[in-house]
Structure 1
């Protein structure tokens, strides 16, 4: 049996299969947006009965892909680990991932609604199954990726997907949609592509855009540089058409951070930056001419909200950000009600004062099922220790990936490739982390982020030891 497993592992290279399966899963999750072809769908509930609810053509397919991928990956990993125990290293990244897994497990077991905590709330599906899959993706990538070519393959996959999804989102903004929508989204003109919501689309776009811009600035003349320029323009236009102000702010802050950290590099790229700025300005002007100047109105509303925040009127403050301040004000105290393990994954709606919210907003049936801040959501649902560990994980990654001062990057050399990988991973994680303060984790985007976080972990685990290989994978 052992000889057979050795032969199986040697011939098929399970580590490569696992890595590629995660990449394929990421790709399928991005594009698993089904036409709305039926009105209702049966969903199993906690009593083992079934509820007839609106057909979920967006989020539920992603959960299925995610859960089945994680199940297959678990089997492959168990086979792999039997003969390759020394491949899993003792490092802080693994300890943090494992700690989150333990805390999520305990939070699920002691949840107010254990069924929801395990499976996730309808139309959200971020229960323990999804959270554990995110962690597993990050863990596997961090420990199995040891070749630079894996970074390259995944980057091309995500950049290509982002460009295609951006085109689709931009078409939606102009009123063109070739996929039948559900009744909820039938008249939306803000772009959401395949992500189900403009805010979620923006969280993906802002995570990818800085890396495409960095690619354009780094490449020498040629078709790849032109492609990077076009991809940057498309994703920037897509980010604008989502009209998501939190993501716009996150992108602006990421740009400021890049200018501060990469000033020596950027000052030598004045010509490329000028071209990009001209195109970005033209995109803003063109897009703002549609839908009554939506872009300009959304931008101006940021300053209106800031003015309201400085107001002494509590009601005005609570209405800022489409009632986000009201939600934050009433969510933060909930963290202390179950400070150690929270109320359980995706159990936010069970504890939030729904009637108080409806009375304040004048809505009748709306349910607030997320805190509209990934960090507050995590604190309420899984507890303060999980929130602290997650924040420490992000800071640990950002600290270790913070780019050092450099004047140029030569992608022809192994050192240049490492420098580029480190910088783009830093910008991607930073942009997502910033927008997460005003947005939520969602099954259409989070698997991509955790995979990128896994690549960040792989870099941190390997770069000091110079373990990366330049050979083709």
Structure 2
């Protein structure tokens, strides 16, 4: 009997080791490999192969983890996720263009296969996450490479796209995509390195932080800058709350503020005031809100999209079909009809109001639980900043495979910690 019990214990321990290894590898795949994976020899340099690899690998990992852990407790977040998946499937079934909703637009590829894969990614991280220093180091190394490449592009040095004669050359894409997506990537990773440095004071985290700050500025993405102001204030609040127990926090925070000012000043000087000019457009665009030619054209896009909101409120027009329902010649002439440049507006139009409501409920519950657990450590604050920052920039931006997979992974980790996971990063 003892021998049999011992075998069962050893078998379970072996299964746990296998699962931990698989998950650690998968975490590196999603957060380190996918953002780096580009195909310069193809016209679609950033997307097609990425989504194929993400869908295939995520499906395999989900099947394996489900096999080893056959019993899962169905909780509130699981129910919301299943409801959201069901609404997405129904939206696809009744889509105005089934093929488009299945596979998504070229260079976007956010059809039902991609959207359901995001939910699988969430589930894998939600149910299986465990912290690994080795995985974190690999992910941070990937962030360093991405940041260095983006900063080089900002200073007109591009060893990849220039050689490939790609249409994106001359702009800051790094290995992520269009500069707005680079900004989204920064929104997901900058709070991480900021929080790690504030918490530990380690030099390597400070170096990565400097590079990520450089990438945030290089992207010239105003939504990412607005998000940065928000989560940096949150981290200042963290320092203020904990300063009595850790006096070094004020030194680290002061060093960060000085570093931000120095990096901004240097990059702005080297590009003859480009950053200050870009920052001023936030005010100009807000002032000229009634002008259809507003700098980023977002106001114009939103105005054109509002009438479409009431066309299919229940199930929407189908995933990634925004270009079909926006039947506006001026929008098409200006090439502004592929996405709504507001994730919530996009979801309401293409997926329907119920799907948007379920998604926002899911995220709100996760954020609320993180807030309730805020005393458990810096990792809770980091996750809160990552998610809240993403939600802020999403008001002005669109979803993209390179960053969406990371966002749903972070959301899954946050869901796990929000339910009381005691593992400390």
Q: TM-score, normalised by structure 2?
A: 0.90
Structure 2 runs not aligned, ≥5 long? 1-7
Partner of 2:4: none
Offset from partner CA, 1:233-275 (integer Å, 9 cap, x none): 1101100000011110111122233434653225842221221
Partner of 1:19: 23
Offset from partner CA, 1:276-330 (integer Å, 9 cap, x none): 1222111111111233321010011111122223xxxx3x1x3334211111122
Deviation at 1:74, TM superposition (A): 3.6
Residues 254 and 202 of structure 1, relative CA distance in 2, 3 Å threshold: same
Partner of 1:46: none
Partner of 2:225: 248
1:69 aligns with 2:53: no
Is residue 142–residue 461 contact of structure 1 (8 Å, CA) maintained in 2?
no
Offset from partner CA, 1:101-121 (integer Å, 9 cap, x none): 111111111111111111111
Partner of 2:341: 372
Partner of 1:234: 211
**Aligned-partner Cα distance in 1 for 2:368–2:35:** 29
Q: Mean alpha-carbon deviation: is it higher for 154-163 or for 238-247? A: 154-163
Partner of 2:302: 328
Is residue 116–residue 347 contact of structure 1 (8 Å, CA) maintained in 2?
yes
Q: How does 1:230-309 map to 2 (within 5 A)?
A: 230-260=207-237, 263-265=240-242, 268=247, 269-309=249-289
Q: How does 1:104-115 map to 2 (within 5 A)?
A: 104-115=88-99
Partner of 1:446: 404
Q: How does 1:26-37 map to 2 (within 5 A)?
A: 26=30, 27-35=32-40, 37=41
Offset from partner CA, 1:183-206 (integer Å, 9 cap, x none): 421232xx2211111100110112
Partner of 1:401: 370
Is residue 210–residue 424 contact of structure 1 (8 Å, CA) maintained in 2?
yes
Equivalent residue pairs, number: 412
Residues 443 and 144 of structure 1, relative CA distance in 2, 3 Å threshold: same
Is residue 169–residue 193 contact of structure 1 (8 Å, CA) maintained in 2?
yes
Secondary structure at the aligned position of 2:106 is classed as: coil
Deviation at 1:405, TM superposition (A): 7.1
Structure with the largest fraction of helix: 2
**Aligned-partner Cα distance in 1 for 2:348–2:365:** 19
**Aligned-partner Cα distance in 2 for 1:434–1:277:** 22
Offset from partner CA, 1:133-157 (integer Å, 9 cap, x none): 1100111211123x4x34x555434
Deviation at 1:158, TM superposition (A): 3.1
Secondary structure at the aligned position of 1:299 is classed as: helix
**Aligned-partner Cα distance in 1 for 2:386–2:395:** 15
Q: TM-score, normalised by structure 1?
A: 0.81
1:97 aligns with 2:81: yes
Secondary structure at the aligned position of 1:338 is classed as: coil
Q: Structure 2 residue aligned with 1:197, among 162, 178, 186?
A: 178
Residues 261 and 20 of structure 1, relative CA distance in 2, 3 Å threshold: closer
Offset from partner CA, 1:369-419 (integer Å, 9 cap, x none): 11101111111111101111111112111111126676xxxxxxxxxxx51
